[in-house]
A = this chain, B = another copy of it.
Amino acid sequence: MPLDERLATKLKIVVLGSAAGGGYPQWNCRCPVCDLAWRRDRRVSARTQSSLAVTADGHHWFLLNASPDLRQQIQSTPALWPGESGRHSPLRGIFLTNGDVDHLAGLLALRERQAFTVFGTAATLKLIEGNSIFRVLDPSLVSMRPLQDGVEIDPGFDLKVTPFFVPGKVPLHEESGAVDIGGIGETTLGLEIRSSTARLVYIPGCAKMSEGILRRVSGADLLLFDGTTYTDDEMVRLGLSNKTAWRMGHMAITGKEGSLRAFGEAGIGRKVYTHINNTNPILIEASPERRAVEMAGWEVAYDGMEIVL
């Protein structure tokens, strides 16, 4: 088999956006980490909001989440450009892990008479249906397919996707009254993606570790995991928010309940932090915090990062 063809049958992942909601730097933030980006300090790189593109055949692509920056992300990624005259796209579908704005709003960029499938839990699809603005997606072309906990989906093109519930919370815009944090249900998914060559697990938002998650990621070739904050209280300490990471539905990297410790022995091929908040010092190259996660065997995702498995 020629080299090109062998590469074309590998599982390929492109990190379209590696930042959490709001991106990095954040539009109205001059915290110490954002300040470096506004000053164009060379130790940091700007990052758009959380989304991945995956393909197993080198031609047909799926998005894992659709960030508000999707239009810009497609412009930066030649593999996702239209290849044929008239209307065309290599994109075949989008898997949504929750209903947060940073994972959902990119659907509004996918107007203009293109057929594809949106996969999400019934709760997330109901959100889309309940917001009239999403009617710009023509229902005669865009189909919605519900995902269920542990039930494998075959979207074609040598990919199999198994969604699984992880501890989370309802999207910010649906919060009312007392908010249940860390509950396991339709609000928050992880995705296990298999091709004939490799297995990847993607969990951009996770409020806490569980036995089920550890079993799922054990032995995976690649884990892309929630790297929102380094410490649970970093946004509070900076005076930017009154919310801890936990309150936003994310487990911090450090601490007794943090992800560094939780995945220590899981036998994963490559471990990559993504969905990184603008306050997280791992965004700064050679910072003590960046070194600490690297020493523990983690990589830090950046926009345009390509991984071939």
Chain B residues near A131 (CB, 8 Å)? 131-133
Asked if residues B46 and A75 are in contact (CB atoms below 8 Å), the reply is yes
Chain B residues near A80 (CB, 8 Å)? 27
Among A22, A27, A89, max chain B CB count under 10 A is at A27
Asked if residues B74 and A72 are in contact (CB atoms below 8 Å), the reply is no
Chain B residues near A87 (CB, 8 Å)? 28-30, 240
- B-contact 0/1 string along A18-50, CB 8 Å cutoff: 000111011111110011001000000010110
In chain B, what residue has the closest Cβ to A74? B27
Chain B residues near A27 (CB, 8 Å)? 71, 74-75, 80, 82, 89, 109-110, 112
How many residues belonging to A are interface residues under a CB distance threshold of 8 Å?
A: 58
- B-contact 0/1 string along A70-109, CB 8 Å cutoff: 0110110000111111111101000000000100110011
Asked if residues A30 and B83 are in contact (CB atoms below 8 Å), the reply is yes
Among A72, A114, A127, A240, max chain B CB count under 10 A is at A72
Tell whether A113 is near chain B: CB-to-CB under 8 Å: yes
Please give the distance in Å from A150's CB to the nearest CB on chain B. Answer: 28
**Chain A residues engaging chain B, CB cutoff 8 angstroms:** 21-23, 25-31, 34-35, 38, 46, 48-49, 68-69, 71-72, 74-75, 80-89, 91, 101, 104-105, 108-114, 127, 130-136, 172-174, 238-241
- A-B residue pairs in contact (CB < 8 Å), sample of 13: A25-B75, A26-B112, A27-B80, A28-B82, A28-B113, A30-B84, A30-B86, A48-B71, A68-B68, A127-B133, A132-B173, A132-B174, A136-B173
9 tightest A-B CB contacts, nearest first:
A135-B173, A28-B89, A30-B82, A131-B131, A28-B114, A72-B72, A30-B85, A136-B173, A27-B74
